[in-house]
Structure 1
Amino acid sequence: MVIEEFLSLDIEGQLKWLNKQRATKKLKVIEVELGAKAYVIEKPIKSAGYKYDNNLKRYILHQGDNGQNENETLSFLEQHLTTIKSLVHKEESMDMSNELTIDKLILSNRVYKSKGLKVQEDVYARFVELYKQQYQQYKLQDIISQALLEFCQRYEGKSG
């Protein structure tokens, strides 16, 4: 499984799969297998109120002070409902063609070649900043490989 497949599962599916994996594997091993960092893997689980129990070796629903938190959440939602609706509507109307997807060829082929490339400093700074803000679930080398692959697909066979 790759990270995109995992994240596309509903929360129950993610829990079931992750609990099965954590019964026999450490989180570091799962990170390597999925090709993503631990916080990316655990974020949806933790957001749903689950917490990892070392004794049980599985994620369980956290039984904290939920009553007060739920009241605060409901109050916040009531106060900001119009803003939330407008944000949802804006997101739905946005062009989703800017969504980054890494080609399966890149994710499945984990053989890398180290190359010393010279890149313009300001372009690289923008690239790294965008990576840090939005795409840390991927490895930087995979994003660079994807960019080079897209360049090849776009310009192969075209004469300059």
Structure 2
Amino acid sequence: MAIGHVPAQIDVTAQLRTAGLRVTAPRKAVLTWLAGHPHATADEVRAGVAAELGSVSHQTVYDVLRAGCDAGLVRVIEPAGLPALFERRTGDNHHHVVCRGCGRTQDVDCVQGRAPCLSPDDDQGFTVDEAEILFWGLCPICRSNHHEERR
């Protein structure tokens, strides 16, 4: 299992130490909150951890998220036209489905194991180490609303 893959019961302190990062209250709070709230924006993360820490600056949250991404503890998803989304599920070959109506984002499992799930026919000389797939459509709620509007 990769360092950043989040099991049911996480030990954020051990994960930070294994990744070579200092254990700080903001890092622990951000990583713990994000484990229960995947696909969150940086603003949502800040609001979520502010309840625990009392207050936390945007810059602190951005710094923690960047350090987490660099260490493989956090993954960033950047759907076109939406703010960057962060999650703790890393180190596997899952992808995402995004609603065009409301922006809701969900995981889509893929083959577990060696990355990438997909290999290009012609890699143009690149060494490919990751495939990022975004599926776009309408979630059940937006699809239902869209169907109602058409009546």
TM-score, structure 1 normalization = 0.21
Bigger radius of gyration among the two? 1
| More contact order relative to length (CA 8 Å, sep ≥ 6) | 1
User: Which protein has the bigger strand share?
Assistant: 2
Instruction: Say which structure is richer in helix.
Output: 1
